[in-house]
Structure formats: structure tokens, C-alpha cells
């Protein structure tokens, strides 16, 4: 069975280290999600009730969605296309069965609520955009709208009211604003596929809310107070402006500023054009890796202020392409492939996070990457 999976990609190289890293990474991409049903097809749902799967179908758990929507699930659409409908339908079942609503980080049939955003919507939207059949997208759509338009969930009330999340009212407010903007973009793409033009236009506009935290004077996404003032004192190398809580999720402003993966043209406009975007990316990679104040344990694999050991940075090297400097993407990605992975037990720059760290290697080694998975690009 493993030989069948590994043979989907044939690597020809005299460098055994590269081959070992590649196939180890490929193995890691297939460890999760995990089966979560009995041999008779029964499983305990997130409503704590026992449910029955149709014969031959399976239920799953262990969806590290904050991480895996970025590269692992896009990889599945290429290398495991026959499994995509089952995994997406599982997320849809969870959305209906779970008291917590849209899946965030399901583990062992329970919603851990671990991490920010609700990126199950990105995985579902990507499948819809790529035309996967056998998935009831209409069924999940009301659950998605409930989260986006009604739930008072982790700052979403402020997000709808102020068009950003205030840092004096909600922890990790800057990152949440960015992540909800991306989830709005995902909803827009699903709405487009389903022919819901009004919703598409509404959520495209909402996907631009992250710009309300853009501070032109500093050139960063910056936390903002409820009264509209900027939170301070501001240091882009710090995780927060106060000791009460962080403004960014496992990141500082250098990493989080690039989180709106759906709008690289918007970034270029904010920064003053493509050349300015290249300059800002160069500054990210080429400065000191010294972090001021608290250092989250997840902020690892530092190259300048780029943190390869944690997922918010994973698309950033590819933004040079959008800035008109593809050779810089090529050079940087090759460097990360060589320096951030090794054929040793500690061969990853950070937490594997259910295959995402390895999925980045697999896709990047093959020569492409989805900066914005729900676009289909």
C-alpha cells in the first residue's frame, strides 16, 4: 500500500539525502487526518451521539486546519483526489453535528478550538473551486453563513461592526482580523461556484477588511484600539503592544503582515508598487533574527524575520512571484529546502502539524505552491 502511494512521485537524483527527505516528507503527509469509526461504520460524533456511516465509507478526525489548509489539502487535491470528497464531507458532517459549529481543529471527535480562524471553510471552498463532485456544498453553506454573519465567535462581532478586531477587546486581534478576511475570501469563492452572486460580492468586500489594520506610517499590519487609535508602543518584532495578551498568533508583525494570502496585488498597492514589495520582502529575509520581548516557542526556523518553523510564513517566499521577481522566489525556496530540512530525527524546523511542514517540502520540491489555495491557482 505504501509503495503504491510513494510511486505517485518518482524522484531521480544521485543525492540520497534529498531522496530520503522527500519520501519521508511524503509519508508524513499521509499520517493525518485519521480514521475515526469502528469496523461496523459507527462513530461517535461531535454531538456525542452515535452515528452510522454507509457501508464502505469512513469518518475521520485530526484535522489541523489552521496549518493544513495551506499546503497539505492542496496536495491532496493532486495526489489523493479520490479521498478529497470523503474528507470534505466529514468536515461538513462535523459542521452540522458539532455544538461549536464550523470545524476549527477537530481531534478524536471533539472540537479543540485550538488556533484562530475557521479554516475548514478554506478546505471546502478549494474543493468546490476545483470541481470535486460528491460533496454537498449547499448543505454546509448555511453553517458557514451562521459563523460569518451571526456567531459571536472570538471577535467576529467586532469584525462585523468595526471591520477589524480591536486589540483592547480581543486577544490576537490583528491575526484574527487577517484570518477572518481570508475566510471571507473563501466564502466568496464558494458562493461564486454556487451561483450566489450577492453573497460573492459581499464577501469579496469583507475580504478587504484586513486593510483597516494597515498602518502606512510603519508599513505593517498593526493592532488597533476600539476607538480607532493605533495600539502602542509598536515594535514589529514584538508579539504584542501590552503584557495582557498577544496581538498576533504565534507571530509578530513582520510575519503576520503578509497573512492576507488572497490579495498580493493589494499588498503591492499598499506598499507603493511591485518594487517596494520586493524591497519589503528583502528586508524580511535579510535582517537580524533577534526578537524583542516574548518569543513564542513556535517562532522557529528563522531566516531574518521569516519563520519557516511555523505556518503563517509558508507562502511568503512565493510572493516575490507576484512582485515581479520570480528569480528571488526560486533562490529563496531552494535555500529553504536545503537549510530547513534534514535527513535526521530532528529534521524539521518546527512542529510537523499533521503534515503541513512536510507538505511544504513536497510541493516546493516539485516546483509549485498555492499561495491562495481557494483560488485554484
- Cα separation values, 372 from 45, 56, 259, 260, Å: 31, 33, 10, 9
pLDDT at 294: 85
pTM of the entire predicted model: 0.97
Work out the percent of the chain whose per-residue pLDDT is above 70. Answer: 100
Helix (H) or strand (E) holding 127: helix 120-129
Q: What is the mean pLDDT of residues 271-285?
A: 97
The pLDDT tens digits of the residues spanning 43-85 come to 999 999 999 999 999 999 999 999 999 999 999 999 999 999 9
pLDDT at 295: 85
Indicate if the pLDDT at residue 296 is higher than 90: no
pLDDT at 363: 97
Indicate if the pLDDT at residue 104 is higher than 90: yes
Cβ contact 252:236 at 8 Å: yes
The pLDDT tens digits of the residues spanning 334-346 come to 999 999 999 999 9
Amino acid at each position: 500500500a505504501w509503495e503504491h502511494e510513494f510511486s505517485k512521485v518518482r524522484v531521480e537524483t544521485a543525492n540520497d539525502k534529498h531522496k530520503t527527505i522527500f519520501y519521508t516528507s511524503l509519508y508524513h503527509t499521509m499520517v493525518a487526518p485519521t480514521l475515526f469509526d469502528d469496523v461496523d461504520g459507527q462513530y461517535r460524533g461531535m454531538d456525542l451521539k452515535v452515528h452510522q456511516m454507509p457501508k464502505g465509507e469512513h469518518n475521520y478526525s485530526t484535522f489541523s486546519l489552521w496549518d493544513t489548509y495551506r499546503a497539505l489539502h492542496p496536495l491532496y487535491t493532486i495526489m489523493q483526489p479520490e479521498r478529497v470528497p470523503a474528507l470534505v464531507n466529514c468536515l461538513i458532517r462535523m459542521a452540522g453535528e458539532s455544538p461549536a459549529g464550523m470545524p476549527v481543529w477537530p481531534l478524536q471527535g471533539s472540537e479543540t478550538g485550538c488556533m484562530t480562524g475557521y479554516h475548514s471553510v478554506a478546505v471546502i471552498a478549494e474543493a468546490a473551486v476545483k470541481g470535486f463532485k460528491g460533496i454537498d456544498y449547499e448543505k454546509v453553506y448555511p453553517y458557514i453563513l451562521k459563523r460569518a454573519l451571526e456567531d459571536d465567535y472570538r471577535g467576529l462581532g467586532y469584525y462585523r461592526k468595526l471591520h477589524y478586531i480591536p486589540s483592547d477587546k480581543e486577544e490576537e486581534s490583528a491575526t484574527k482580523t487577517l484570518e477572518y478576511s481570508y475566510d471571507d475570501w473563501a466564502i466568496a469563492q464558494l458562493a461564486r461556484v454556487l451561483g450566489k452572486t450577492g453573497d460573492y460580492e459581499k464577501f469579496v468586500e469583507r475580504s478587504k477588511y484586513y486593510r483597516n489594520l494597515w498602518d502606512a506610517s510603519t508599513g505593517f499590519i498593526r493592532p488597533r484600539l476600539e476607538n480607532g487609535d493605533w495600539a502602542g508602543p509598536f515594535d514589529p518584532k514584538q508579539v504584542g503592544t501590552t503584557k495582557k495578551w498577544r496581538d498576533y498568533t504565534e507571530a509578530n508583525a513582520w510575519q503576520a503582515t503578509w497573512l492576507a494570502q488572497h490579495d498580493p496585488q493589494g499588498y503591492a498597492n499598499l506598499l507603493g508598487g511591485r518594487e517596494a514589495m520586493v524591497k519589503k520582502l528583502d528586508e524580511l529575509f535579510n535582517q537580524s533574527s533577534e526578537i524583542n520581548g516574548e518569543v513564542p516557542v513556535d517562532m522557529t526556523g528563522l531566516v531574518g524575520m521569516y519563520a519557516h518553523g511555523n505556518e503563517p510564513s509558508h507562502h511568503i517566499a512565493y510572493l516575490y512571484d507576484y512582485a515581479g521577481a520570480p528569480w528571488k522566489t526560486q533562490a529563496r525556496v531552494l535555500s529553504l529546502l536545503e537549510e530547513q530540512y534534514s535527513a535526521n530525527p530532528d529534521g524539521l524546523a518546527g512542529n510537523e502539524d499533521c503534515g503541513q511542514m512536510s507538505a511544504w517540502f513536497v510541493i516546493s520540491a516539485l516546483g509549485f505552491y498555492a499561495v491562495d489555495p481557494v483560488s485554484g491557482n
